[in-house]
Chains A and B, each alone.
Chain A
Amino acid sequence: MPGMKGNNKYFMILVMLSLCACRKGLPPQQYVQYVQDAKNGLLKNVQVSEWEYKIQYRPAEFILLTEGKTVSDGKVRKKRNEQLSDMAWFNISFQHIDGKISPLRYALSSRGEYDLRLNYFLNEAARSIKLICNWKDTLTPTSYLFENHYNLTPQETMVVGFHLPSGAIDEMQLSYEDRIFKTGIIKTIFRKEDLDNIPKLVY
């Protein structure tokens, strides 16, 4: 009997520890806010001279939510989740600090220069982006899309996806070399604790 008492004590400690270790759950709206809040380490802001870069890590659930796929979609949601799993997705947005004009049109000297910029972001920028996982695997994008806003917004966005190697991801470092606005190489780290702290999505 005294042994049983001791076992119960250990069991209680184990339960309490596992409760503490559990990731918190958040409803959709708060989940989106959490991911978009720079304080939580999933959104990084980098300013280099007169250009601002925002690098947003996008967990699969976040993408599903922003695409409007909720629990009611059932099969569609499951299928989409499968497509997104095993990948790390990022949005790289950039804009001029005055925020008045699309970067593609900023300080243009000719129409040719605009075409050159557009062509770079449509076809070549993916080669300037890489992801280093756990400080050993250097990944190149397996998916890349330039969200063309047709000069309607002062911000442009590149969507990149990397196929992750098997095993746990501790830390990721995303690097991007801007060859159009000549701001050098931009690097940001997504830390293990921030990735581990991503809440569960609860409906």
Chain B
Amino acid sequence: MSAEKRLNMREIKVLLICLLMCVGTGVTTYYAVKRQNKKIAVADAVRLFDQFNMKKEMEASAKVKLDMLNKQADSVGSLLQAARAVHDEEAEKKFTYAYSYFRSSFDEEYTRSNREINEQVWKRLNPTVEEFGRKMQLHVIIGANGMGSVLYNDDYYDVTEELIKYVNARYEGKQ
């Protein structure tokens, strides 16, 4: 009777060991698969920004004003040169003031429009990139910007083209 019991106990021990091994293998496989399924993508942030249609359109719109200011400054610059050539001191003084005024207006407008375009474009891009990540079931999208955050990536992880298409389609109201 006791021999039978001991046998049973041994059988139970073997079974338990088998069970533990199965559970261990299962857990290891689960984590290995999970690690494999972790989807990471890289997108070129500079290309994304440059090829976003809204940025292009806003830049084109700002360029009109900037060109006008630049032409005004150039015209005054020509007048200033002419005044210098004829040694007209009074005109030179007047045009120097006017020239610096138009130049600083151009610089201010350039800085302001650049800042506004940057802010507005990223305000629009950030939620759309997030939406893209969710749609593609990505866990992380790393923004490569040439500043050393991503030193190398092959095409396998690069989603820049898809992302550009997606953000532009969303912007144009096509999706």
Q: Which residue of chain B has its CB nearest to the CB of A128?
A: B61
A189 x B174 contact (CB < 8 A): yes
Min CB–CB distance B21 → chain A (angstroms): 53
Interchain CB contact (< 8 A) of B120 among A173, A182, A188, A189: A182
Proximity bits, A131-162, B CB within 8 Å = 1, else 0? 00000000000000000000000000000000
Complex: A44 Cα to B116 Cα, angstroms: 26
- Residues of B in contact (CB 8 Å), total 15
Q: Quick check: is B11 within 8 A (CB to CB) of the other chain?
A: no
Partner of B121, one of A44, A184, A187, A188: A184
> Does A183 count as interface, using CB distance less than 8 angstroms?
yes
Partner of A183 from the list B57, B120, B171, B174 (CB cut-off 8 Å) is B120
Decide: B120 and A184 in contact? CB cutoff 8 A: yes
List which B101-141 residues lie within 8 A (CB) of chain A.
116, 119-121, 123-124, 127
**How many contacts A-B (CB < 8 Å)?**
33
In Å, the complex CA distance between A48 and B172 comes to 14
Identify A187's interface contact among B61, B120, B172, CB under 8 A. Answer: B172
B123: which A residues are within 8 A, CB to CB?
48-49, 182-184
B residues less than 8 Å from A184 (CB atoms): 54, 58, 120-121, 123-124
CB contact list, A160-203 vs B, under 8 A: 173, 177, 182-185, 187-189
Residue B146 at the chain A interface, CB threshold 8 Å: no
Residue of A nearest to B175 (CB): A189
Residues of B with C-beta under 8 A to A187: 171-173
Flag if B173 contacts A44 (CB, 8 Å). Answer: yes
Alpha-carbon distance between A177 and B58 when the two chains are bound, in angstroms: 9
Contacts of B124 in A (CB 8 A): 48, 183-184
5 A-B pairs in the complex with CB atoms less than 8 angstroms apart: A182-B119, A184-B120, A185-B58, A187-B171, A189-B174
Interface residues of B, Cβ cutoff 8 Å to A: 54, 57-58, 61, 116, 119-121, 123-124, 127, 171-174
